[in-house]
Structure 1
Amino acid sequence: MSIRKNLDISAYLVIGPENTNGRPVKKIIKDAVEAGFTCIQIRSKVASARELIELTREAAEVIALLGKSDNVALLVDDRLDVVLAARKQGIKVDGVHVGQSDIPVDVCREYLGEDSVVGLSARTHEMIEYIKTADVSGIDYFGVGPVHETMTKPDCGLDTDGKIKTRSFEEIAEIVRLSKIPVVVGGGVKVADIPQLARTGAAGFFVVSAVAGADDPKQAALELVNAWKLHTEAGRKN
């Protein structure tokens, strides 16, 4: 079955070699998946295409060794060329995540096919209007943020005036209400944010440094996953 039909973005790790404090990317991915993370995105602005393909291969192997290839989606940020080259080499990569200024969603969909995952980050200042008007038939989820300013992506939330605009939980709840597709929220998210974030109705959270930069990535990942499960289940009961 296509992972697109079974996509789980509840616990979503974005990771590249610049985020790990010198530790192997694949080790942190292993810790996160063992802890219950459901989606992995390879993202790097410093790695070459070949390095990104190798990181994708290592991530796919880790996920396969844990028996999670049918449950944990593996995506690459921005680089449709890397996804296509990885697939040509037999690497199981499930799709791509793009921004509004990256390769258009319809082009990604054309090249990757209907079984692939395509996620989109809309620009912060346009997000609500975009969600109201966008054709989402080719998109699987929206990435929304930041909740806090974050050094791992300093331009995240950059508004037209050059200032960072963070998202309140009230705004996130409104975006979730308006969106026809699932919404995953990140940007400096920490365990303390999870209770409020879960109440917005978002489909999940994404993190970089909260896991990749943690002293104990596995423990940090477990705390995030457990908090999300606890507060989403509590919300369903109420």
Structure 2
Amino acid sequence: MRTDLSLYLVTDPGAAASAGRTVLDTVALAVASGVTAVQVRYKHADARSLLALAVAIGHSVPRGVSVIVNDRVDVFLAARRECPTLAGVHVGQGDLPPEHVRALVGSDAVIGVTASTHDHLQSAAASPARVDYVGIGVVRATATKPDATAPLGVDGILRLAASCPLPAVAIGGITTADVPALRRGGLAGIAVASAIGGATDPGDSARRFTLAWSGA
């Protein structure tokens, strides 16, 4: 399955709850307005809760929207037994190395890797396993990812992406005003969490990002 990363929603259960919605409601509204991929991220959930959420999202989105589980390779494997259309897993620098992830998930699954430095990117590109994309960030400091490295800014993201042959997605405090420069700079997509998940109208927010991307 082709993975369209152009507008990549990272789930934020806290933001959804603060806005009076479930994560499933948020995903449905965002996907209907242009989101092309969904990362199931629920940092403080137990394995069963993350599993249930991944399966529910996998069954709820239309074909062509990739659903990717954050960090937990074990949860992805369990979820894929119930929802075979789940696309893959996204891992950070402190998680299993890509070659071990690939051995577990198989050749058909998507693997994304978080990167914030030149060394991270070179390691991902040189991995003996196939890495399908890198997530580079953060653009700006964001409450969604308080443990992130220092903000890189749009220019910093573009410099790093240019040094790596893998498709790259920018993440972290991205606004619609950043989108044209990121797309023109060769990014494969933008990842957004609270700007959509915590919006009063997630559909309208997703639509604005979609228009900014398509019009760049």
Name 1:116's counterpart in structure 2.
109
Where do residues 68-83 of structure 1 align in structure 2 (5 Å cutoff)?
A: 68-69=62-63, 71-83=64-76
Instruction: Kindly provide the CA deviation profile for residues 92-118 of structure 1, in whole angstroms up to 9, marking residues without a partner as x.
Output: 311100011111211111111111000
| Distance in structure 2 (CA, Å) of the matches to 1:190 and 1:204 | 13
User: Which secondary structure does the structure 2 equivalent of 1:175 belong to?
Assistant: helix
Name 1:141's counterpart in structure 2.
133
Which of 41, 44, 47 is the aligned partner of 1:43? Answer: 41
User: Which secondary structure does the structure 2 equivalent of 1:44 belong to?
Assistant: coil
Name 1:10's counterpart in structure 2.
6
Contact 1:56 1:91 in 2 (8 A): no
Name 2:118's counterpart in structure 1.
128
Contact 1:172 1:200 in 2 (8 A): no
Name the stretch that deviates more: 89-98 or 9-18. 89-98
User: Which secondary structure does the structure 2 equivalent of 1:75 belong to?
Assistant: strand
| Distance in structure 2 (CA, Å) of the matches to 1:76 and 1:184 | 16
Name 1:203's counterpart in structure 2.
188
Name 2:206's counterpart in structure 1.
221
Report which of the two structures shows the higher radius of gyration computed on alpha carbons: 1
User: Sequence identity of aligned pairs in percent?
Assistant: 37
Name 1:105's counterpart in structure 2.
98
| CA drift at 1:195 | 2.2
User: Which secondary structure does the structure 1 equivalent of 2:134 belong to?
Assistant: strand
Q: Could you say if the C-alpha distance between residues 150 and 112 of structure 1 is closer, same or farther in structure 2, counting changes exceeding 3 Å?
A: same
Contact 1:12 1:41 in 2 (8 A): yes
Contact 2:6 2:190 in 1 (8 A): yes
Name 1:230's counterpart in structure 2.
215
| CA drift at 1:194 | 1.3
| Distance in structure 2 (CA, Å) of the matches to 1:102 and 1:133 | 14
Give the superposed CA RMSD: 1.5
Compute the TM-score of the two structures, normalised by the length of structure 1: 0.84
| Distance in structure 1 (CA, Å) of the matches to 2:203 and 2:183 | 21
Name 1:27's counterpart in structure 2.
25
List gaps (5 residues or longer) in structure 2: none
Name 2:148's counterpart in structure 1.
156
Instruction: Kindly provide the CA deviation profile for residues 63-98 of structure 1, in whole angstroms up to 9, marking residues without a partner as x.
Output: 1xxxx32x1110110001111111233453111000
List gaps (5 residues or longer) in structure 1: 158-164, 232-238
Name 1:55's counterpart in structure 2.
53
Compute the TM-score of the two structures, normalised by the length of structure 2: 0.93
| Distance in structure 1 (CA, Å) of the matches to 2:74 and 2:85 | 14
| Distance in structure 1 (CA, Å) of the matches to 2:177 and 2:206 | 13
| CA drift at 1:145 | 0.8
Where do residues 171-190 of structure 1 align in structure 2 (5 Å cutoff)?
A: 171-190=156-175
